[in-house]
Amino acid sequence: MKTIDNIPTSKIQRATRMVQTGAKVGVNYLKYYGDKITKNEKEAKQRLNENNAEDIYDGLKKLKGSALKVAQMLSMEKSILPQAYVEKFSLAQFSVPPLSPALVIKTFKKYFGKHPNQIFDKFNSTSVNAASIGQVHAAEKYGKKLAVKIQYPGVADSIASDLSLVKPIAVKMFNIRGKDSDKYFKEVEDKLVEETNYILELDQSNEIVEKCKNIPNLKFPAYYPEISSDRIITMDWMKGEHLSEFTAYNSNKELSNKLGQALWDFYMHQLHNLRKVHADPHPGNFLVSNTGDLIALDFGCMKSIPTEFYIPYFELAVEDNLKNPEFFTKKLYELEILREDDSNEEIIFFKDLFHELLSLFTKPFNQDEFDFSDPEFFNKITELGERYSKSTELRKMNGNRGSKHFIYINRTFFGLYNLMFDLKANEIQINNYKNL
């Protein structure tokens, strides 16, 4: 793969790249209008989506950083984005052009004052994996093979400006409007700032390893603070294949259930016992070892769950509470889904919407055992997402709904459910976490 010798770091440089990408999208729309003359609407729209996805991703992968991270986050919204965007943006998880060896060495000299060969017994200056915020290199020290994650230059300093560039897209896509909308973007910005702080990630990683070490069939790398910094982090090299690679061919149901149970227990333990959760559950952050264990990686994106959100959120996961209209309405106000200035029309609409959504989405929590391989369950989630994303009634209303905490908690559950479905895990014991 072609390497990158420099990354635009100034606001003007990055904005210019985005404008160039926008110009390409404009040309694609001209082609689309031409295609509509010679092709049917479906074919023309598919080509438009494919061309736009290609050009947008091509522009973002050269920028790296927060803009590319947002694309990765959007790739998990399978019910909102056309498939062409999902497929292309998902590459941001682990397949983008890496920094050149020269730029890698320059980064080490900046943060350690040394060439990487002066720090490690062996160091491969060619990246083995490149994603949105950083890339990974293989090294050796202490008689061990190590993974060294290096953050791209300028990423931490360009978060606010990057988000201002993608904000108009997000506003339109998610129907966000109103004076309170900035709280959602501030939540994303704060999380991205945390993700670029590798000292914080080191502390969070060690905390999770310690508090989740007793979960069966779940493994973690060890971390090395003495050869880490705020932009470089060193950990054990973990042998395994990405979860998406494993699920593409696996037919061993027993192993699927074993891995699925480990994954489910990991998340339920974090949510309910730790009140802090790994909020980036995409396939690139999980490996399957040759011994059939699940390996969890990358704890840069951790979401703390305040009590005032946790209690009403999980109270609405209880079936009897969903059937109690008075209680249900009260909790919707507590979660900022309903607002005091809502019209009767808005109250009725959003009560119906969230009752339907929650009744479906919380089904696993109201059973002792759940089958995540059931396509009917996931088809209903997809259908519901598509229906409301196309709702003209919803677009007339203020879609700016819910506590800011929904952003990463919902992202966590959507990601977790997708991973469980990909694993085809069934016979999953829902309440195992209570015994951990």
Res 429 pLDDT > 70: yes
Examine residue 434 and state whether it is found in any structural domain, yes or no.
Answer: yes
- Tell me: the pLDDT tens digits for 235-288? 999 999 999 999 999 999 999 999 999 999 999 999 999 999 999 888 889 999
Examine residue 309 and state whether it is found in any structural domain, yes or no.
Answer: yes
End position of a domain, from candidates 63, 92, 121: 92
Examine residue 36 and state whether it is found in any structural domain, yes or no.
Answer: yes
Q: Which of residues 80 and 340 earns the better pLDDT score?
A: 340
192 by Cβ neighbours in 10 Å (0-12 / 13-18 / 19+) ranks as buried
**What is the chain's mean pLDDT, rounded?**
83
Band the pLDDT of 160: cuts 50, 70, 90: confident
Res 135 pLDDT > 60: yes
Average pLDDT over residues 360-384: 91
Cα–Cα distance measured from residue 314 to residue 358, given in angstroms and rounded to the nearest whole number: 11
Cα–Cα distance measured from residue 237 to residue 120, given in angstroms and rounded to the nearest whole number: 14
Res 298 pLDDT > 80: yes
Cα–Cα distance measured from residue 230 to residue 80, given in angstroms and rounded to the nearest whole number: 35
Examine residue 182 and state whether it is found in any structural domain, yes or no.
Answer: no
According to the model, what pLDDT value does residue 17 have? 61
Band the pLDDT of 4: cuts 50, 70, 90: low
189: CB partners within 8 A, 6+ apart: 159, 160, 163
370, containing H or E segment: strand 369-370
> Residue 260 sits in which domain range?
241-436
Band the pLDDT of 14: cuts 50, 70, 90: low
- 423 and 260 in contact (C-beta within 8 Å)? yes
Amino acid 241 reads E
End position of a domain, from candidates 75, 92, 109: 92
According to the model, what pLDDT value does residue 202 have? 95
Q: Name the least confident of 73-82, 99-108, 112-121, 138-147.
A: 73-82
Examine residue 326 and state whether it is found in any structural domain, yes or no.
Answer: yes
Examine residue 320 and state whether it is found in any structural domain, yes or no.
Answer: yes
Q: Which of residues 435 and 363 earns the better pLDDT score?
A: 363
According to the model, what pLDDT value does residue 24 have? 65
Whole-angstrom CA distances from 259 to 96, 295, 302, 366, 380 are 28, 10, 22, 22, 24
CA angle 112, 118, 123 (to 5 degrees): 100
End position of a domain, from candidates 43, 62, 92: 92
According to the model, what pLDDT value does residue 170 have? 58
According to the model, what pLDDT value does residue 182 have? 77
Domains identified in the chain, total number: 2
Q: Residue 57, SS3?
A: helix
Examine residue 154 and state whether it is found in any structural domain, yes or no.
Answer: no
Average pLDDT over residues 116-138: 89
Examine residue 42 and state whether it is found in any structural domain, yes or no.
Answer: yes
According to the model, what pLDDT value does residue 417 have? 94
Res 393 pLDDT > 80: no
Whole-angstrom CA distances from 184 to 251, 302, 305, 316, 401 are 41, 16, 16, 22, 10
According to the model, what pLDDT value does residue 98 have? 78
According to the model, what pLDDT value does residue 188 have? 81
